[in-house]
Structure 1
């Protein structure tokens, strides 16, 4: 049976399927089929994740209500452990940070300080400062941890207080993310084993 489909190529051209090498067409169809299946699985996992967090919040509401505490608000980390000691769920909240425009002021001030201290600034110090402002080659992002670590330096320079302020202002908390981890073990005295939900590890 002749394949009457028209396949749109990456450059926008439209090619009749019957003119495409069968192996290339097979690769095309397989790629679309697998990605469609992955999308379906992604939606299923997202829905299940929302249900799991709803279960945790419902549990927490019951606990809070039992103590007469106010419901709602920010939900922090907690641990839910079974009486038999072989299963537990851990929920944690991690803040994530981003850099502001003050990062450029911090970088300029640090370079000015190093230039003034050229006689005393070691190669190690220059490397620390340089690495702090370097962008990740893959993500293009600056490490907020390395930038904030510069505040631990103790430099004898009149611009150092300004530089420390700029470093502090350069990093802000952009939001938070909630994580849930599931653990089980054979006996109450066995090591905990995390249930791996990473698709590639299964």
Structure 2
């Protein structure tokens, strides 16, 4: 399998890593053997990648077709929040999951929420204010790329605080969420014996 972006190399020459043309007769045999091995394995890897890509497309189409069939026959749509769905074989040995993960970011209303939360903490002033302030500061910390963790910020909404200003801040957080994209995953599992445990049938080469 050739690389369409590979430039033309004159017959009897190979290009080294610096882009220089080197006569093949001047290259050590071990270097030629290594070159052939790497290219052969890369070609096999590309073929495996294409097979996995085709499997994902086919699996998603077949899962959606089954969901449509079930909805039409029983008038009960399958799939939970955000389109996630789990299908289990009749004998309970295998399970397929379609999972859709959304990429979330916050808009400028997150800063409004932070200011409202700060007002709450200053107003409370006593009791557990220091602990809550530490929790809030942690939630709004940015990572090395300057991004705020959506998980940490959304975790604030699980705190059972009835204060009106706090609730307004939580509403601002909810309104600030923007969906920038999503990824769809196919996960395959096999039951461990007769237990309630499932082990993944890995499609990740590093996990094999």
TM-score for both structures, normalised by structure 1: 0.65
Verify: 1:4 aligned to 2:13, yes or no.
yes
1:95-143: CA deviation from partner (whole Å, max 9, x where unpaired)? 44222122233344545655x4595475433321221111223x54311
Verify: 1:135 aligned to 2:146, yes or no.
no
The Cα shift of 1:84 comes to: 2.7
Verify: 1:89 aligned to 2:87, yes or no.
no
Shift in alpha-carbon separation, 1:111–1:80, aligned structure 2, 3 A: closer
Contact 2:98/2:187 (8 A) holds in 1: yes
Alignment counterpart, residue 178 of structure 2, candidates 150, 172, 175: 172
Contact 1:148/1:171 (8 A) holds in 2: no
The Cα shift of 1:35 comes to: 5.0
Equivalent in the alignment of 2:4: none
Partner SS state of residue 5, structure 1: strand
Partner SS state of residue 193, structure 1: strand
- The CA distance in 2 between the partners of 1:90 and 1:16, in whole Å, is 51
Contact 1:17/1:25 (8 A) holds in 2: no
Question: How many residue pairs get matched?
Answer: 190
- The CA distance in 1 between the partners of 2:12 and 2:134, in whole Å, is 61
- The CA distance in 1 between the partners of 2:49 and 2:171, in whole Å, is 43
Contact 2:161/2:167 (8 A) holds in 1: no
Contact 2:192/2:199 (8 A) holds in 1: no
1:47-85: CA deviation from partner (whole Å, max 9, x where unpaired)? 111011112122223323334679xxx983333333333
Matches within 5 A, 1:142-161: 142-151=148-157, 152=159, 154=161, 160=166
Partner SS state of residue 13, structure 2: coil
Shift in alpha-carbon separation, 1:27–1:143, aligned structure 2, 3 A: farther
1:13-34: CA deviation from partner (whole Å, max 9, x where unpaired)? x43346x996889878876665
Matches within 5 A, 1:43-58: 43-58=50-65
Gaps of 5+ in 2: 1-10
Shift in alpha-carbon separation, 1:36–1:136, aligned structure 2, 3 A: farther
